[in-house]
Structure 1
Amino acid sequence: MRVDVNPEAVGRREFYALLNSVVVPRPIAWVSSLSAAGVLNLAPHSFFTVSSVQPPMVQFTSVGRKDSLNNVEATREFVVNFAAEHLYEQVNASGTNFPPEISEFEAIGVTAEPSRTVAVPRVAESPVALECTLHTTLELGDCTLVIGQVRHLAIDETMLDGNHPDIHRLRPLARLGRDEWTTLGEVRSITRIRYTDWPGHFEKPEGESPAD
């Protein structure tokens, strides 16, 4: 038997908690940005994914109006720093609601590193950085979707297996529900099945059309 939940009946806060507990695991965009006044900001956003392959774009969602959103709208630049397992405490601490005039870089003790293509610094301790310029923002209910075009990717060479990032070296963090987080865990490899290899599939005789 299932429990049925109507979002309008339970209210925003309770349904938000339910969504966060079933849309899991969620990768974390550790977003660095600069305010119009030049204050460096760093915050985790767990509504994060790739938006486009060509041109390469990524997106994160600001739940409500946060400093990250204000800064990106003001400067049109940001960096997505990789949230790695060994940075667990710093990533969590950067979610503290510091006032806008306080830099999370200084408050939590991480190092600002110059970026290659944008004015916003990267987190030196993070193994990967995606330097982005703002493509668009989209207001959806009480949230704002921020889409950035990736202008540069910088990765620590020790994270590579040949030319490819090694997930066992990257050790990503992910968010679950409540105050729960997760790390890499078991990794399985499975090849996607092509239709021509699907059990029971057969090739039509040469010359027949699909409608024959």
Structure 2
Amino acid sequence: MEYTPEDLTSRERYKVLTGFVLPRPIAWVTTIGPTGVVNAAPFSFFNVFCEDPPLCMFAANPRPDGRVKDTVVNIQRTGEFVVNLADEPLARAMHDSSGDFPPEIGEPDYLGLKLAPSTKVAVPRLADAPWAMECKIWKTIDVNGNRQLIMGEGIHFHIRDELWDAASMRVNMDRYHPVGRMFADRYCRTDDRIVFPPAEGAPAA
């Protein structure tokens, strides 16, 4: 089976990409609106791309009716956001926060999610997230005039204490249970893991 992107509709291209690029990490992005309402929305066209400086990027498509999403509006206004990651206990709330909430309804408040103040940005983080990164806008890229690639520079990290060994600078993988996005409303657990020895000639991590 072969396709040329131009021969597919936008929705069909989306299905091809999201059906095979699996699993995808999920940025659960918190932003703050002009009246102080805290928005939390998940984005699975997301990853981190650099450590010096720490850069992440996520893609924000418009709503089905063409309106710009609250996350984008808030980031354009403040230049700040927080990327929170979800683990298994938070997975359902993360999924439910993807609903079409009006701007005056904050997903954390509606879903009973606890917030905590950030250190270097005004946007709160999700208090129970296993990991969160406070971000300032690094660059935005307009795509076709109707969607945005938002690149953020991480300026502060928050890690749940029991997940991190500060001496070795390693995550305690037996305690960390993140979820990944598959396609449609399907997600995956990440507990079934494979460990390979270092490749021949490669230094140990």
Q: TM-score, normalised by structure 2?
A: 0.88
Q: Measure the CA separation in 1 of the matches of 2:94 and 2:202.
A: 45
Q: Measure the CA separation in 2 of the matches of 1:87 and 1:19.
A: 26
**What stretches of structure 1 of length at least 5 have no aligned partner?**
198-212
Following TM superposition, the consecutive aligned residue runs of length 4 or more in structure 1 with deviations greater than 6 angstroms are none
- Indicate yes or no: 2:153 matched with 1:134: no
Which of 21, 24, 49 pairs up with 1:26? 24
Q: Measure the CA separation in 2 of the matches of 1:136 and 1:167.
A: 32
> Paired residue for 2:152?
148
Once the two structures are superposed, residues 46-71 of structure 1 have per-residue CA deviations (whole angstroms, 9 ceiling, x without a partner) of 01111321111111111223111111
| Aligned sequence identity (%) | 35
Please tell me the root mean square deviation across aligned C-alpha atoms, in Å: 1.8
- Indicate yes or no: 2:180 matched with 1:177: no
Q: TM-score, normalised by structure 1?
A: 0.86
Contact 1:48–1:60 under 8 Å retained in 2: yes
**What stretches of structure 2 of length at least 5 have no aligned partner?**
63-67
Q: Measure the CA separation in 1 of the matches of 2:8 and 2:16.
A: 10
Structure 1 pair 98–7 and aligned structure 2 pair: CA distance change class (3 A): same
Once the 2 structures are TM-superposed, how far is the Cα of residue 17 of structure 1 from its aligned partner?
A: 1.4
Contact 2:32–2:38 under 8 Å retained in 1: yes
Q: Measure the CA separation in 1 of the matches of 2:2 and 2:152.
A: 37
**Worse-superposed segment, 3-12 or 150-159:** 3-12
Secondary structure at the aligned position of 2:193 is classed as: coil
Secondary structure at the aligned position of 2:174 is classed as: helix
Q: Measure the CA separation in 2 of the matches of 1:146 and 1:39.
A: 21
Contact 2:177–2:191 under 8 Å retained in 1: no
Q: Measure the CA separation in 2 of the matches of 1:129 and 1:87.
A: 13
